Amino acid sequence: MVTTLPAPPKLKSGTLRIIPLGGIGEIGRNMTVFEIDGKILIVDCGVLFPEEHQPGVDVILPDFNYLNDRMQDIVGMVLTHGHEDHIGGVPYLLKRREDIKLFGSALTLAFVDAKLKEHRISSNQLVVAEGDKLSIGGFDLEFVAVNHSIPDALAVVIRTTGGSVLHTGDFKMDQIPLDGRLTDLRAFARIGEAGLDLFMCDSTNADVPGFTPLEKDIGPVIENIISRTTGRVIVASFSSHVHRVQQVIDAAAANNRKVALVGRSMVRNMQIAQTMGYLNAPDDIFIEYKDALTLPPQHIVFMCTGSQGEPMAVLARMANLEHEIAVGEGDTVILASSLIPGNENAVYRVIDSLTKLGANVVHKGNAKVHVSGHAAAGELLYCYNILKPKNVMPVHGEYRHLIANGKLAEQTGVLHERVLLTEDGWVVDLRDSRAEIVGAVECGLLYVDGKTIGKITDDDLQDRRILAQEGFISIFAVIDAATGRIKVGPEIRARAYAEDDHVFDDVKPLIERALAEAASEGLRDTYALQQVIRRTIGTWVNKAHRRRPMIIPVVIEG
């Protein structure tokens, strides 16, 4: 799908422009810009967590740079639900303009507010609920209840003079949800009857046949596993998965166990959920983490983060013996989550390490301890048949998911040319009930590394990978300014190269000869001489040792 597109034309009056700045071709950093008549509405602003080939990166943001000169044109930001891949980037965007108005459900905005406090940002918020309607800057918004793996999720209908759009956010159609809150198919039907120009639909499970299993079926499995465990139980899940934590609490109570929340985000989010009434727990079920360490193993359940193998999360630190909770024989670890694509190796390393320590590790691959929060193909077909959209733009998924979603749309009668398979940065214009791709804007990855945002480049990451995988060699030499001959050196040092320094004795004569030849040709520029050294030792290392380390030559005149 990689295609080079021209810059988009100037936006015509009365045309709705849609630009995804993240979430297309990936699971994470969801963000879409809607623009009409000089006003901009944003839907979601999430993060993507780094993979192994992105060392040192904390999170990856949508590419805000398109908005740098348009910040004052933003009339608001709709947040569909409280998962990190939809709200995690909000603090970073608000640092560019703090007073952008946020629209979301009560729980979603509570989660966002907690994050903003950590960044010392105050926000302008309006709590909305299903059925609410409001107008802002040329956008008429209507919010629709959808069922997901977090309470209070909302889809949003965006009506403009350019056309109407339904953006689902993340959703599924669990018919017996734990909180009794169904995806509002009656509202979908009403929207379809009125005429829907563009359907932007969650694609994550579009390649999964049938229907997503019910959340209610997970509780009995977790309770059975806990009842059969003689030692401690450690459950790892997303820190915002209120429904799963509720099931763990219920299972723990049924087996006379206390629950200790472990991990800053888990503690914070569950305190918010309990305070707001989304999490129901017996008064005495929770115990402080430090106190839990003193309880007999058969009386405790630890609920923690780290289900994706994140190196600094609680579960990975347990697996690496870097945590106070020492997992061993008789303990059970439950990974109550799906694998996010790209995290497979990290997760299975954690599973292997925990198993080696003697724990019984239960995960989605060997027990029904998790169901997805996303609609499978059968559910999506229902939506297409109810809505009858004129145009479809699959969102939230890798390319195989987007393509599968587009094919489902075509099966229900949507014309092939009306199914828009896009990429981050591609520009879609909607007018007169027709959506078309009209160009692309620059859209890359915005890396957060500590307090640095957007200054780490792909070249920097390549250097980090080289350092980690191939090692580092430095060469120091002092050159006579008049003759170009070596006065001191070359001195060679290596790090993470798995070789003693004396191994470079063979290459020193080659460096001296190369520098002598350069001097005889009248070369005196120190930068040019450094390149001579880099080429010489680089060729030798590659031939002699089949390695490509980072090489840093330093040449000074003396």
DSSP 278-327: SS---TTSB--HHHHTTS-GGGEEEEES-TT--TTSHHHHHHTT-SSS--
Measured distance CA(151)–CA(466) in Å, rounded = 43
The pLDDT assigned to 449 comes to: 67
pLDDT at 508 over 70: yes
Query: In sequence order, which residues have a C-beta less than 8 Å from that of residue 26 and are 6 or more positions away?
Result: 48, 398, 424
The pLDDT assigned to 445 comes to: 82
pLDDT at 450 over 80: no
Whether 128 contacts 109, CB under 8 Å: no
**Segment 392-402 mean pLDDT:** 96
Q: pLDDT (tens digit, 9 = 90+) per residue, 21-38?
A: 999 999 889 999 999 999
Range(s) for CATH 3.60.15.10 in the chain?
A: 17-210+372-449
Establish whether the linkage from the previous residue to 490 is cis, with ω within 30° of 0: yes
Phi and psi based region of residue 306 (left: phi greater than 0; alpha: psi -120 to 50; beta: remaining): left
- State the Cα torsion 188-194-200-204 to the nearest 10°: 20
Pick the CATH number of 458-557 from 3.10.20.580, 3.90.1150.10, 3.10.20.90, 3.30.43.10: 3.10.20.580
State the CB neighbour count (10 A cutoff) for residue 75: 16
Q: What is the pTM of this model?
A: 0.82
Q: Between residues 468 and 163, which one has the greater pLDDT?
A: 163
- Nearest CA to 306 out of 297, 318, 290 is that of 318
Which regions of 331-411 does DSSP assign to beta strands (E)?
332-335, 360-362, 391-395
Residue type, 362: V
Range(s) for CATH 3.40.50.10710 in the chain?
A: 215-362
Structure tokens at 193: 């009857």
**Matching residue, tokens 């880099």:** 534
The pLDDT assigned to 2 comes to: 47
Measured distance CA(493)–CA(489) in Å, rounded = 11
Structure tokens at 489: 């050196």
**332-335 vs 233-236, strand pairing mode:** parallel
Residue type, 58: D
Q: Between residues 32 and 308, which one has the greater pLDDT?
A: 32
**139-145 vs 154-160, strand pairing mode:** antiparallel
Q: Which of 263-277, 322-336, 369-383, 486-500 has the lowest mean pLDDT?
A: 486-500
Report the chain's C-alpha Rg in angstroms: 28
**Matching residue, tokens 């920097």:** 460
Pick the CATH number of 17-210+372-449 from 3.30.70.100, 3.30.200.20, 3.60.15.10, 3.30.1330.40: 3.60.15.10
Measured distance CA(531)–CA(454) in Å, rounded = 30
pLDDT at 240 over 50: yes
Distance of CA 320 to the CA centre of its chain: 24
Measured distance CA(239)–CA(179) in Å, rounded = 18
Range(s) for CATH 3.10.20.580 in the chain?
A: 458-557
Measured distance CA(333)–CA(352) in Å, rounded = 12
**Segment 504-525 mean pLDDT:** 76
- Nearest CA to 214 out of 239, 179, 242 is that of 179
pLDDT at 390 over 90: yes
The pLDDT assigned to 60 comes to: 84
3-state secondary structure of 330: coil
Distance of CA 435 to the CA centre of its chain: 28
pLDDT at 456 over 70: no
* Percent of residues, the chain, with pLDDT higher than 90: 64
Average pLDDT, the chain: 88
Q: What are phi and psi of 441, to 5 degrees?
A: -110, 160
**Which residues, in sequence order, are bridge partners of residue 139?**
136
Q: pLDDT (tens digit, 9 = 90+) per residue, 64-83?
A: 999 999 999 999 999 999 99
Half-sphere exposure for 62 (CA within 13 Å, toward CB)? 37
Note the residue count of the chain.
558
**Segment 510-521 mean pLDDT:** 78
3-state secondary structure of 385: helix
Q: Between residues 544 and 369, which one has the greater pLDDT?
A: 369
User: In this structure, which topology does domain 215-362 adopt according to CATH?
Assistant: Rossmann fold (3.40.50)
The pLDDT assigned to 465 comes to: 54
Measured distance CA(221)–CA(219) in Å, rounded = 5
Whether 408 contacts 42, CB under 8 Å: no
The pLDDT assigned to 452 comes to: 61
Measured distance CA(435)–CA(166) in Å, rounded = 13
**Segment 164-169 mean pLDDT:** 98
Query: In sequence order, which residues have a C-beta less than 8 Å from that of residue 554 and are 6 or more positions away?
Result: 474, 475, 476, 477, 530
Q: Which of 84-98, 149-163, 285-299, 315-329 has the lowest mean pLDDT?
A: 315-329
The pLDDT assigned to 470 comes to: 58
Residue type, 526: T
Q: Which of 405-414, 498-507, 543-552 has the lowest mean pLDDT?
A: 498-507
The angle that helices 218-227 and 242-254 make with each other, rounded to 10 degrees, is 40
pLDDT at 356 over 90: yes
Q: Which of 129-138, 242-251, 498-507 has the lowest mean pLDDT?
A: 498-507
- Nearest CA to 458 out of 55, 187, 168, 100 is that of 55
User: Does the CA dihedral 124-127-130-135 come out positive or negative?
Assistant: negative
Q: Between residues 516 and 426, which one has the greater pLDDT?
A: 426
Structure tokens at 134: 């409001």
Q: Between residues 305 and 262, which one has the greater pLDDT?
A: 262
**Which residues, in sequence order, are bridge partners of residue 16?**
430
The pLDDT assigned to 539 comes to: 83
The pLDDT assigned to 482 comes to: 67
3-state secondary structure of 167: strand
Q: What are the angstrom distances between the C-alpha of 181 and each of 111, 149, 151, 280, 326?
A: 19, 11, 8, 16, 39
Q: What are the angstrom distances between the C-alpha of 429 and each of 1, 58, 87, 436?
A: 19, 34, 26, 6
The pLDDT assigned to 312 comes to: 64
Helices (H), 357-495: 377-387, 399-411, 458-469
pLDDT at 260 over 60: yes
The pLDDT assigned to 1 comes to: 47
